[in-house]
Amino acid sequence: MLAEFFAWWGGQLTDLARHGLRPPGNTPCGARQPDAVLVVPVGDFPACATEIELVQRRHGVAAPIGRFALGGAALDGAAARRGPVVLSLAAPTVLAREVSLPLAAEQGLQTAIRFEMDRLTPFRPDDLFWDCRILRRDRVRGVLLVDLAVVPKATVAPLLAALRRAGLAPVALEGRLPDGRLRRIPLAQADPARAARARRLVWLAGAACAALTLAALATPLLRQSLALQEAEDRIAALRPRMAAVDALRRRLAGDAGAPAAARAHAGDTLLVLAMLTDLLPDDTFLSMLSLQHGRLRLEGESAAATRLIGALAAESHIRNPGFAAPVLRSDSGTDVFAIEAEFVR
């Protein structure tokens, strides 16, 4: 499942980078033309264009919509068709030339072209619809070769005004260059600073998605690691008690072969120990055991000391069990107790 998720996520980022970061009008030559509603002037353009033909281009396939008179009522219905509106121009209308700029101008290409427009063309930048794209970089000579395409605004201004009045608002111009290439020029010049900010936001969003993905994958592992560490800490805290119990059991096992006289002198200690081992629960351990003249005294810690009285009273060899001192609470949360009782053989 993780492999499928990463494959999907990589595809989404690739599509985002391909469609969201590419500047308008820089579609590579030979790529499929974007979907649009093409407005093709009919007649002597730009001197006298009284009709237009609308063509729906979808997935690279052009389908005629119909021919309409500028300002006609039928044009309003055609404006409702989906897709951006693009004004298609005749070949001589779009002028293109190759421009050489210093390689350092790439970072602010549109700004550099705007400043050089008076030198590159006989027009001012504000009198043109224009677009530029990088053809190649000559790093040996330090030269940047740029393809500059321009359309004088005066040429298309009357038609654009008529289209806007009719409800069609073109977003770009398209025209064939002499070499057959289709060139698109956006009508609204992009703000380089705003485009740079948009690219930074896209990359920041991608980085945030990657960080959230890694956090989602790492959170279960981190929780498991913390739980294991907590369990190991608790086991380490219980090791001294377990060692004391093991030492006591080894001691009891070693005393099993003591002479009968020693057992009688000690008040049958082994019997008492065996009996207490069976009676006391596993969460209870003794720090002191005393048996003198039939008086049994137990000191230690237990998860619930009060239940020990009932367990001892149920044994026939033990009578009158009771607490010899108040029950205290230890730092580890257990009850510290001292119990006295009578031992009867």
Structure tokens given for 163: 């289209």
Q: What is the pLDDT along the chain (345 residues), one digit of tens a residue?
A: 556 555 655 655 555 554 444 444 444 444 567 888 888 888 766 656 678 888 888 888 888 888 888 766 556 555 555 678 888 887 678 888 898 999 888 888 888 888 888 888 888 988 899 998 898 998 889 899 999 988 899 888 888 888 888 778 889 998 888 777 888 889 886 555 555 666 778 888 888 888 888 888 888 888 888 888 888 888 888 888 888 888 888 888 776 555 555 555 555 677 888 888 888 888 888 888 888 888 889 899 988 888 888 888 888 888 889 988 888 888 888 889 999 998 887
Q: Which of 63, 50, 65, 83 is closest to 163 using CA atoms?
A: 50
Please, where are the H alpha helices in the chain? 2-20, 74-78, 109-120, 153-165, 192-254, 260-265, 269-279, 306-313
Length of the chain: 345
Last residue of some domain: 141, 165, 189? Answer: 189
Q: Rg of the Cα trace of the chain? A: 46
Number of H helices and E strands in the chain, helices first, is 8, 14
State how beta strands 172-176 and 143-152 pair. unpaired
Query: Whole domain around residue 311: which residue ranges?
Result: 258-343
Residue 200 falls within a domain, yes or no? Answer: no
Amino acid letter at 135? L
Residue 288 falls within a domain, yes or no? Answer: yes
Residue 77 falls within a domain, yes or no? Answer: yes
Per-residue pLDDT tens over the stretch 65-87:
888 887 665 565 555 556 788 88
Amino acid letter at 289? L
- Please tell me the total count of domains within the chain: 2
Q: For the full predicted model, state whether its pTM sits above 0.85.
A: no
Residue 329 falls within a domain, yes or no? Answer: yes
Cα–Cα distance measured from residue 190 to residue 17, given in angstroms and rounded to the nearest whole number? 18
Largest interatomic CA distance in the chain: 135
With the C-alpha atoms ordered 309, 313, 314, 318, is the resulting torsion angle positive or negative? positive
